Amino acid sequence: MIVLSSVSKWYPNGARPALIDVSVEIGAGEFVFLVGPSGSGKSTLLRLLLREERATSGQVVVAGRDVARIADRRVPQLRRIVGCVFQDFRLLPNRTVAANVAFALDVVGRPRHVVRSVVPEVLELVGLGEKADRYPDELSGGEQQRVAIARAFVGRPRVLLADEPTGNLDPATSIEIMSLLDAVHRAGTTVIMATHNASLVDAMRRRVLELGDGALIRDEADGRYDQTVPQPLSPSATLPPVVPPPLVMLPPAVPAPRGVPAPTALPARPAGQAPDAERSPWATPTRSGPVG
Amino acid sequence: MGDTDAQWPGRLMRPGPLASLLWTGLRRNLAMTGAVIVTVTICLAMLGAGLLLRAQVHTIDGFLLDQIEVVVDLSDGITPAERSALEAEMRRDPLIAGVRYETKKQVYERFRRDFRGSPDVVAGVGPEDLPAALRLTLADPRASRDIAVTYTGLDGVEAVRDQRALLDPLYRFLDAFTVGAFTLAAVQALASFALIYTMIRISAHARRRETAIMKLVGASNATIRAPFVLESAVAGLAGGLLVAGVLVAAKVFLVDGKFARQTMFPLFGWAAVWESAVVVLAAGVLAAAVMASIALRRHLRV
């Protein structure tokens, strides 16, 4: 479903690469945790999968398509295959729960009878059937995230990316969201969840990819948040045999403490400014004016 | 694997949800939309005025085609042979539709008729004082000057009087106003573009959450741009409708009501009004949509 081959990403003005020589394969229907400290490249990796950014080098393949080579006007089709939820929910405050979910179908031109039948189903699935007519600010954080998941899932994407979906939620709510994502996964969706929530990762025991300073430093099936027991890198069991295990492509290097090959030297780059802060519409408004 | 794919049929938004996006956008941006409508209206009003003035020039031309003649005064000493040679030449001239000879007596009769309101003038002129004449009707009234040049100074020709030349001041007046109206329309078009550009910028900012989500869930670029372009086109349409109303009102009250009693010239008819209204509406909608599309390239990255 997703294949990264020697993917590196430099942001303009970045002092160091956001991703270095990352190679990994994620099969259809897998559930993968993406862990690593802030700034380790998790979000960048997700953005590459959505073609919000292009890799500086290497190849990103999603659902059989080389993402960098998709024509700009075809990018929307990629994004219908790859759904996404975020830490900050990103709901439209002036629309009801049902309207937020329906929006995702409306704007891709789904017919009205589909919207009318699918939206209540999905809201039922995420447990918000009763709150379809509420507005986002009348909901708890966990409920808002459920709406966001419903919106991402309603178009039946083949991949769901979740960027720290529990980052703003209390532990109990986080578990609810986790089980909802698990349900989405069981429905056949490939799920990639970037998270800092150690207890969730430890409880689920799914495949864990760990990034450190832009490099893939761990790929462990049934992994934990922190690797306690040193263990060799295990290529995913779902890899077809003809494809060499991706991490073999990492340069052999200095002895790595966890038995994982580490990248050799960082490519030097002239000192520049810090990477641009993400200019998100949800960012705190700056001089550009009041929030609409 | 998932049983659905990205290959469902419809790719643009349905009209209903699109209209609701458009409506919220217009409401949120009311003051700005109002400002755009005002400038677009002024611009289109100038355009419409220019078109009607041009229609008026054409109407007068059409009238003159029937009415205006070039009069060639013949010298008293012209021989019949010279006269028939001159007439033959004129009949061969493609610019001349017809030639009619008037004797001195006929010219005097016409003079008395034309000036019957001024007996003093008539009293001072006798039948022998006026020259015999050839009256030419023209294939094209605008060619009168060429004819004057061709026949002035020929044997037996005393003078060529071009009646259309008398109307030159009127034509200059109408032309000047037409040019002025079109120039103002162009200036207002620039102002409208500046305003639409700003409107799109504000609108893109106000809608940035919506557009971000649209991108995220895979809306096509056309879908993301549509509400913006439509917002501008609606402003253009509103301006166009206002101006169409003004044109109709101008025809009813100003042209038919007032000028009709003050001038002997025919005035443009309803066909010219409808024609101008259609042009103004189309120009308003299309130009506003195009301007918005240009502004979007700058303010909305999709």
Q: Within this chain, do residues B136 and B220 fall inside the same structural domain, yes or no? A: no
Nearest CA in chain A to B13: A109
Q: Does A107 contact B13 at a Cβ distance shorter than 8 Å? A: yes
Asked whether the beta carbons of B187 and B66 are under 8 A apart, the reply is no
Chain-centre distance of CA B152, in angstroms?
Answer: 35
Q: Domain with B160 in it: what CATH number?
A: 3.30.70.3040
10-residue averages of pLDDT along chain B (302 residues): 41 86 87 92 94 88 74 86 87 86 87 80 83 84 79 84 78 88 92 91 89 92 91 94 94 85 80 94 95 88 64
Q: Which two tokens stand for residue A90?
A: 């990103």
Domain with B138, as residue range(s), is 66-164
**What digits encode the pLDDT tens for the residues A25-39?**
999 999 999 999 998
B213 touches chain A (CB under 8 A): yes
Q: How many domains does chain A have?
A: 1
State the maximum Cα–Cα separation within chain B, in Å, rounded to a whole number: 110
A193-214: average pLDDT: 94
Domain boundary among B115, B142, B164: B164
Q: Does A292 contact B209 at a Cβ distance shorter than 8 Å? A: yes
Q: Is residue A128 part of a domain?
A: yes
Cα(A115)–Cα(A103) distance, rounded to whole angstroms? 9
Prediction ipTM score: 0.75
Q: Within this chain, do residues B100 and B151 fall inside the same structural domain, yes or no? A: yes
The CA-based dihedral angle spanning residues B13, B17, B21, B24, taken in that order and rounded to the nearest 10 degrees: 170
Q: Which two tokens stand for residue B274?
A: 């409808």
DSSP readout, B18-52?
HHHHHHHHHHHTHHHHHHHHHHHHHHHHHHHHHHH
Residue of A282 and A133 predicted with greater confidence: A133
A156 touches chain B (CB under 8 A): yes
Taking the CA of residue A90 as centre, how many other CA atoms within 13 Å lie in the half-sphere pointing to its CB? 28
Q: Does B11 contact A108 at a Cβ distance shorter than 8 Å? A: yes
Residue of B143 and A45 predicted with greater confidence: A45
Nearest CB to A158 within list B2, B207, B208: B2
Residue of A277 and A23 predicted with greater confidence: A23
Single-letter residue type at A34? L
Q: For A237-259, give one letter per residue: b (16+ CB within 10 A) or e.
A: eebeeeeeebbeebeeeeebebe
Q: Within this chain, do residues B119 and B179 fall inside the same structural domain, yes or no? A: no
Question: Which residues are bridge partners to A31 per DSSP?
Answer: A191
HEC-encoded secondary structure of B228-243: HHHHHHHHHHHHHHHH
Cα(A247)–Cα(A221) distance, rounded to whole angstroms? 14
CA nearest B42: which of B240, B266, B286?
B240
Nearest CA in chain B to A108: B219
Asked whether the beta carbons of B234 and B284 are under 8 A apart, the reply is no
Quickly state the pLDDT bin for A193 (edges 50, 70, 90): very high
pLDDT tops 50 at residue A256: no
Quick one: pLDDT at residue B95?
Answer: 84
Q: How many domains does chain B have?
A: 2
List of chain A residues whose C-beta atoms are within 8 Å of the C-beta of residue B4: 155-156
Domain with A117, as residue range(s), is 2-249
Quick one: pLDDT at residue A281?
Answer: 58
Q: Within this chain, do residues B123 and B186 fall inside the same structural domain, yes or no? A: no
pLDDT tops 60 at residue A266: no
Nearest CA in chain A to B5: A81
- To the nearest whole Å, the CA of A1 is away from the closest chain B CA by 10
Measure CA of the first residue to CA of the last residue in chain A; give whole Å. 38
Q: Does A81 contact B6 at a Cβ distance shorter than 8 Å? A: yes
Q: How many helices (H) and strands (E) does chain B have?
A: 10, 4
Q: Is residue B72 part of a domain?
A: yes
Nearest CA in chain B to A104: B217
Nearest CA in chain A to B17: A106
Q: Within this chain, do residues B173 and B55 fall inside the same structural domain, yes or no? A: yes
Quick one: pLDDT at residue A282?
Answer: 59
- Residue B96: φ, ψ to 5°: -105, 125
CA A221, A225, A227, A233 torsion-angle sign: positive
List of chain B residues whose C-beta atoms are within 8 Å of the C-beta of residue A282: 209, 212
Asked whether the beta carbons of A53 and A47 are under 8 A apart, the reply is yes
pLDDT tops 90 at residue A261: no
Strand order in the sheet with A207-212: A82-86, A159-163, A190-194, A31-35, A207-212, A215-220
Domain boundary among B164, B181, B196: B164
Q: Domain with A181 in it: what CATH number?
A: 3.40.50.300
Domain boundary among B119, B134, B164: B164
Q: Does A90 contact B216 at a Cβ distance shorter than 8 Å? A: yes
Give the rounded percent of residues in chain A with a pLDDT score beyond 70: 78
List of chain B residues whose C-beta atoms are within 8 Å of the C-beta of residue A50: 216
Count of A–B CB contacts within 8 Å?
A: 102
Quick one: pLDDT at residue A233?
Answer: 55
Question: Which residues are bridge partners to B69 per DSSP?
Answer: B137
Quickly state the pLDDT bin for A288 (edges 50, 70, 90): very low
Q: Is residue A161 part of a domain?
A: yes
- To the nearest whole Å, the CA of A157 is away from the closest chain B CA by 8
Cα(A289)–Cα(A149) distance, rounded to whole angstroms? 30
